[in-house]
């Protein structure tokens, strides 16, 4: 099953600047080969269910390997079986209405 998620990982116990940790997660996501887009408060990722959730797990593992003692994650999950629609398609459909 295809899935689209919005992932926000917040490393705790590492200070105020989170950009280095976001960059680590982006490396993991890039390496996964999944379709994705970084946003200001999370990253949209889509693909097959197992691959997406393996990627989420890999992000957690990599951050812990980099010394993050605790991670608070927010994950929004979207599945659709009546037709194929990417997160970019969803954004485009709204933008067309606002023109």
Counting every residue written for the chain, the total comes to 99
- Helix/strand/coil percent split, the chain, to 5: 40, 30, 25
pLDDT tens digits for 54-78? 999 999 999 999 999 999 999 999 9
Number of other residues whose CB lies within 10 A of the CB of residue 56: 20
pTM: 0.89
**Domain containing 93: what range?**
2-97
* CATH code for the domain of 77: 3.30.70.930
Residue whose tokens read 């680590």: 24
* Tally of domains within the chain: 1
Number of other residues whose CB lies within 10 A of the CB of residue 10: 15
In 1-99, at which residue ranges do the beta strands (DSSP E only) sit? Answer: 2-12, 35-39, 42-48, 70-78
pLDDT tens digits for 10-40? 999 999 999 999 999 999 999 999 999 999 9
């Amino acid at each position: 099953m295809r899935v689209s998620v919005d992932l926000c990982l917040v490393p705790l116990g590492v200070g105020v600047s989170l950009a280095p940790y976001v960059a680590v997660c982006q490396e993991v996501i890039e390496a996964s080969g999944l379709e994705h887009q970084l946003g200001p408060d999370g990253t949209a990722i889509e693909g097959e269910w197992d691959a997406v959730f393996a990627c989420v797990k890999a992000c957690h593992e990599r951050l812990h390997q980099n010394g993050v003692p605790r991670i608070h994650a927010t994950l929004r999950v979207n599945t659709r079986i009546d037709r194929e629609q990417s997160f970019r398609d969803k954004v485009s459909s709204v933008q067309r209405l606002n023109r």
